[in-house]
Amino acid sequence: MGIRLGCIADDFTGATDLANNLVRAGMRAVQLIDVPAEGADGRQPVDADAVVIALKSRTVPAAEAVEASLRALAWLRDAGAEQIYFKYCSTFDSTPAGNIGPVSEALMEALGTGFTIATPAFPDNGRTVFKGHLFVGDVLLADSGMRNHPLTPMTDSNLVSVLDAQTEGEVGLIDHTVVAAGAEAIRARVDELRREGVGIAVADAVSNDDLVRLGAAVRGLPLVTAGSGLAIGLPRNWGFEPSRAAARLPPAGGHAAVVSGSVSVATNRQVQQFLSGGRPAFAVDPLRVAAGEDVVGEALEFAGTRLGDGPVLVYSTEAPDAVRTVQGRLGAAEAGELVERTLAAVARGLVERGVRRLVVAGGETSGAVVRELGVNVLRIGPQIDPGVPWCAAALADGDTLHLALKSGNFGGPGFFTAAFDLPATEAP
Ligand code: ADP
């Protein structure tokens, strides 16, 4: 059986979030990091019901985002995908010039379809859409922190007008009275919008029930565009039901370790909890790395003698003041890159020393670690905490490595030990 759903995600952690929702709804899902290169490897069949290709296309120029998305589409169609899901952020993060509109229209054209929906709603995460307006928790998008986002400031909460400014075609609305009335009513509204020449319709959703109704209504559409929320309603179109089997991973033996390069509030708390439990931990000081000291070697020596006794932590996580001091001395971008490179080298050394269960904290840090390990295929397993599943990757020597890639603010305070209490091969 080939793949059913082919997904194109505009960033890495968003791809994992989507794949996690699909697995929870019963589809076996694999995440590919970027479009596989041409050649024998790229043609390997993937044994999954859904494939999510993770791009880095959210903030690049629109033409680049379109090009990467079309390459992903070509790969997914080649692999037999019956429906395409373009996944963006549930706060509709996009630059004023795009990229959600241009990518959606390019995918529509390539698929030869004149209509798709846009539904970023993810009520479980507090993202709801009503009358086309996106709410973050209790406030409109433009009144939320997204207003001041450094790369994708969102100053208009009306998604119909946001999308209209990014597209050439007409944008319409499937409003909540229609969505609440069920799949039949939604389909009738879609027919009406198509007759009016609308290309993309923003769909209201304020609850998971709305997403399930929308999911049923978009059965058979060649393309849907959404946050990760719509994924809870799609798998049942192919008869998938939530099951433990979808989250099963190949087993991984070996040692456990945590590498943390996130400086978020949640990660600071997780590091503190790990330390207060008396667990072994090695702090990476970016200034010592910058001075040319062999911090990677020290970290690996420290970890090497302790790996037999449960998870070891190597971390650069610091409180905001300390991070600012480092940034002031080295420059923010330089410090970030230096730390990412250091932690990626540590992760590789840990795997060389027999670590086969690895938690990585930090979105950018995770990207650097998977690149350093040469990982480009992740099978998605059981969820540890909302949005963070265990994943399995095949190492060059054929061994299986279990990875949990945690973006900064995810996970409870005990995440760094609790993650290892959940056998990755079994769904809870
Ligand atoms: P998050 O998901 O929390 O945003 P990221 O890994 O994406 O985490 O980003 C954190 C950034 O901060 C990375 O570039 C990382 O290298 C950098 N960083 C981590 N620790 C320090 C530190 N002690 N000083 C300065 N920068 C740091």
Tokens at 386, concatenated: 């909302």
Sequence letter at residue 355: V
pTM of this prediction? 0.91
Q: For residue 327, give the ligand 1 atom closest to its CA.
A: 25
What's the count of helices (H) and strands (E) in the chain, helices before strands? 14, 18
* Protein residues with CB under 6 Å of any ligand 1 atom: 261-264, 267, 286, 316, 318, 323, 326-327, 335-336, 339-340, 362-365, 407-408
Q: DSSP per residue over 309-336, as a string?
A: GS-EEEE----HHHHHHHHHHH-HHHHH
Could you tell me the CA-to-CA distances from 50 to 85, 119, 198, 318, 383 in Å, in that order? 10, 19, 29, 38, 17
CA of 365 to the centre of ligand 1 (A): 7
Please tell me the distance from the alpha carbon of residue 179 to that of residue 214, in angstroms, as a whole number: 7
Best of 339, 359, 406 for a ligand 1 pocket test (most atoms within 8 Å of beta carbon): 339
First to last CA, the chain: 26
- For 103-129, b/e burial (b = at least 16 CB within 10 A) is bbbbbbebbeeebbbbbbbbbbbebbb
Q: Which of 225, 93, 107 is nearest to 162 (CA)?
A: 93
DSSP 3-state of 354: coil
Q: Are 282 and 229 within 8 A, CB to CB? A: no
Contacts of residue 321, Cβ cutoff 8 Å, sequence gap at least 6 = none
Overall residue count recorded for the chain in this entry: 428
Domains along the chain with CATH numbers = 5-245 (3.40.50.10840), 248-421 (3.40.980.20)
Q: Dihedral sign for Cα 38, 44, 45, 47, please.
A: negative
pLDDT 10s per residue in the chain (428 long)? 689 999 999 988 889 999 999 999 999 999 999 998 876 555 567 899 999 999 989 888 999 999 999 999 999 999 999 999 999 998 898 887 889 999 999 999 999 999 999 999 999 889 999 999 999 999 999 998 888 877 778 889 999 999 999 999 999 999 999 999 999 999 999 999 999 999 999 999 999 999 999 999 999 999 999 999 999 999 999 999 998 899 999 999 899 999 999 998 899 999 999 999 999 999 999 999 999 999 999 999 999 999 999 999 999 999 989 999 999 999 998 999 999 999 999 999 999 999 999 999 998 899 999 999 999 999 999 999 988 999 999 998 899 999 999 988 788 999 999 999 987 665 44
Q: Are 183 and 217 within 8 A, CB to CB? A: yes
